[in-house]
Structure 1
Amino acid sequence: MTLPTPRAILFDLDGTLADTAPDLAAAMNKVRTDRGLAPTPYDVLRPVASAGARGLIGAAFGLKPGDEGYEELRVAFLDTYESAIADHTTLFAGMPDLLDALPTRKLAWGIVTNKAARFTDLLVPKIGLGHAACVISGDTTPHSKPHPAPLLEAAKRLGLAPEECWYVGDDLRDVQAGRAAGMATVAAAWGYCGHAEPATWEADVIAETPLDVLALIQKAA
């Protein structure tokens, strides 16, 4: 499928721009070892990294929001993560090349994440993303993804109509938010993707690597 010509590319952060799972998993496992528990295997935690505290606590402790003990674990996890937020986090292979290519095509790019600004504002400059044209965190608007409000706010800050933007993300809620906002959606199959297959998300297109996104941009030009 050929997507409409974009004027901006918006990206999810965790699992799309950056491989944050190593630091998220390390923080979750410190919470476990601080309580005398064995670490949860990394391959159990990685697939749920995009779901943040909810997903990681569910995988590591079998608890969900509202369960007894969940909130105490959530606070401990977030404080631990904040203290070591970029020890092992890196951009995905090919992502620096993609981001470097966008200005040469006169394309703006920005970040729209459900990560709270407390963490986004700390992490983004540490991993070389401080030149994003806009950064919308999970608490920037009254709603988080899959609600379209964060994406609509990003388009507004860029001075663009939503249909002039593409949204790239590695989770179903990214595609749902992009579709609701009227943007073209690209499922990032290189990301964490939870336990679902991107083919089931009804994204406009699936990209296997960041450089595939660049090829899609070239095709749409």
Structure 2
Amino acid sequence: MSLYPAPRAILFDLDGTLADTAPDLAAALNLLRTVRGLEPTPYELLRPQASHGARGMIGVSFGLKPQDDGFDELRDGFFSNYEAAMVVHSTLFEGVNELLAGIADAGLRWGIVTNKPKRFTDPLVPQIGLALASCVISGDTTPHAKPHPAPLLEAASRLGLAPEECWYVGDDLRDIQAGHAAGMRTIACQWGYCGAIEPAAWGADHLLASPAELLALIRATVPSPTSLAA
């Protein structure tokens, strides 16, 4: 705890952290199957892969990897399906609106750092209720995506902050790896998709079960809005 100053900004992953986008991602994937006469892949198998995008969803549903024949065609179809229906069933997780309001009340800024391509991030963010983000870094904003620290360092730079003045919150091992590499305090959110590796094994600085727990941690750490003003 003492290795880090009080935060001046909280950075978030998007899918599985701020927003529950798995329903629309799963629908886009299963449309690929139904038009081919295949049974839909059960949602409970797709949901944990939502943070892994096309690679994870196609992998679990079709058994293909990016280097395999046919993957690119499926990926392009998946992208087209998703782009056409991104905010049909997707919502912010319960407690996220209150969390973001509490962050603002504490005198902090917040931003988004996602591996989701800009093609989807730019229209999704305002539609789902996240237009007040101070910065949005997509998976193709920098030459490297997470777990590389470049996207997080870019976010800190755009906010005019040192990396250690930011916290990073995510629901995937790559998020925690990127946060550590960037020199940020890391928070693993158990309310997200989390994938196959248990969050307790990620080595995050904090492991929290709800947005309300994160807000409580921020309030316990931040001394006062006036002392944190830029």
Q: Is the 8 A contact 2:189 2:207 kept in 1?
A: yes
Matched, 1:152 2:153: yes
CA distance in 2, matches of 1:134, 1:96: 17
Shift of residue 4 of structure 1?
3.8
Deviations 1:71-127 (A, max 9, x none): 100000000000001101000000000001111111000000000000000100000
CA distance in 1, matches of 2:110, 2:219: 16
Q: RMSD of the alignment, in Å? A: 0.9
Aligned to 2:8: 7
Shift of residue 43 of structure 1?
0.2
CA distance in 2, matches of 1:5, 1:219: 10
Shift of residue 137 of structure 1?
0.1
Q: Is the 8 A contact 1:147 1:180 kept in 2?
A: yes
Aligned to 2:225: none
Q: Is the 8 A contact 1:4 1:184 kept in 2?
A: no
Q: Is the 8 A contact 1:143 1:150 kept in 2?
A: yes
Aligned to 2:114: 113
Matched, 1:18 2:19: yes
CA distance in 2, matches of 1:128, 1:41: 28
Aligned to 2:220: 219
CA distance in 1, matches of 2:132, 2:182: 24
CA distance in 2, matches of 1:146, 1:4: 23
Aligned residue identity for 2:50: A
TM-score for both structures, normalised by structure 1: 0.98
Aligned to 1:174: 175
Shift of residue 219 of structure 1?
1.6
Aligned to 1:199: 200
CA distance in 2, matches of 1:216, 1:149: 26
Aligned to 1:57: 58
User: What secondary structure is seen at the aligned counterpart in 1 of 2:121?
Assistant: helix
Aligned residue identity for 1:130: A
Q: Is the 8 A contact 1:9 1:166 kept in 2?
A: yes
CA distance in 1, matches of 2:48, 2:72: 22
Gaps of 5+ in 1: none
Aligned to 2:123: 122
Aligned to 1:86: 87
User: What secondary structure is seen at the aligned counterpart in 1 of 2:50?
Assistant: helix
CA distance in 1, matches of 2:103, 2:25: 29
Q: Is the 8 A contact 1:4 1:220 kept in 2?
A: no
Q: Is the 8 A contact 1:86 1:123 kept in 2?
A: yes
Shift of residue 218 of structure 1?
1.3
CA distance in 2, matches of 1:150, 1:102: 21
Kindly, what percent of the aligned residue pairs are identical?
Answer: 67
Moved over 6 A (4+): none
